[in-house]
Amino acid sequence: MLEPVKIQRTVEAAIENIGAYIATLHEGDVLPGERELAGKLQISRNITREALQHFRTLGIIESKPKIGSVVTKLLPENPYAGYMPFIAASQHTLQELLELRFILESGCCDSAVNNVSMSDVEKLQDLARRIKDADNDRDQRETAYQLDVEFHSTILRLSRNTLLESLIPLVVEFFSKNYLQNNSQAPRREGYDEHFSMVEALKQRDAATLRQLVALHLSAYRNLESDK
């Protein structure tokens, strides 16, 4: 429920109040107009507009002609998007990112084997084959990285956890682009063969083996960094 903002000209208070109201809505719902919001909050339309812009920047709402402000999503698809350049600038942060990736990938093994379908297995098998083919061609190294991103993203999505999925652009896509491709050495090439073993573990619904393979696969990146 919208209530008057008691602190005059406080954008932060308006953002908090409007945010609490949006949290009661669903995707596709339309917010009251600026005039109505300003009246209920007892603040100026300028402050109301600035508060609404906060949620537009986050991608939570968007303005549609003849409709108004509409709720587009309540959970972020890429919460770290604005921080990527700063994360890339810190090698220490990238090391922490590697640890985060390990925690997430190994931690989702149980849910992945529980949720995997035969169509998922077939997709992952195809990706593993394409990765190996691309990796054998020096000119296709970029393609191999992109396919590797898709492979690991697919496994993480098997968790069916929306919040975990929102971290994929950071822990997989960003990691591949900034941690691997900018390295002077390539990761252990035979590591790509481990993809086939991961798919087999998923097919057999063997979470323990999958967890061991994830640890082995990601250890190549730890070794690469420690050799510098």
157-203 pLDDT, tens digit per residue, is 999 999 999 999 999 999 888 766 566 455 545 567 899 999 999 99
Cα-based distances in Å from 159 to 111, 114, 116, 164, 166: 5, 9, 9, 8, 12
- Side-chain-side CA neighbours of 156 within 13 Å: the count stands at 24
Q: Which residue has the tokens 């057999």?
A: 204
Mean pLDDT of 119-125: 97
As a whole-number percent, the residues of the chain with pLDDT over 70 amount to: 87
Helix (H, G, I), strand (E, B) or coil at 43: coil
Q: What is the pLDDT of residue 184?
A: 47
Helices (H) and strands (E) in the chain, counts: 12, 2
| Tens digit of each residue's pLDDT (9 = 90 or more) over 71-92 | 998 888 888 888 888 888 876 7
**pTM of the predicted protein model:** 0.78
- Which amino acid is present at 49? R
Which of the four pLDDT bands, split at 50, 70 and 90, describes residue 221? confident
Calpha distance 152→147 (Å, rounded): 9
Average pLDDT, the chain: 87
Range(s) for CATH 1.10.10.10 in the chain?
11-71
81-226 to CATH, choices 1.20.1260.10, 1.20.1280.290, 1.10.287.70, 1.20.120.530: 1.20.120.530
Q: Which element (helix H / strand E) includes 36?
A: helix 34-41
Q: Calculate the CA dihedral of residues 122, 170, 110, 220 and round it to 10 degrees.
A: 80
- Please report, in angstroms and rounded to a whole number, the separation of the first and last CA atoms in the chain: 56
Which of the four pLDDT bands, split at 50, 70 and 90, describes residue 134? confident
Q: Which of 2-6, 103-107, 111-115, 129-133 has the lowest mean pLDDT?
A: 2-6
Mean pLDDT of 131-152: 85
Range(s) for CATH 1.20.120.530 in the chain?
81-226
Q: Which CATH class is domain 11-71?
A: mainly alpha
Q: Where are the beta strands (DSSP E) in 45-155?
A: 61-64, 68-71
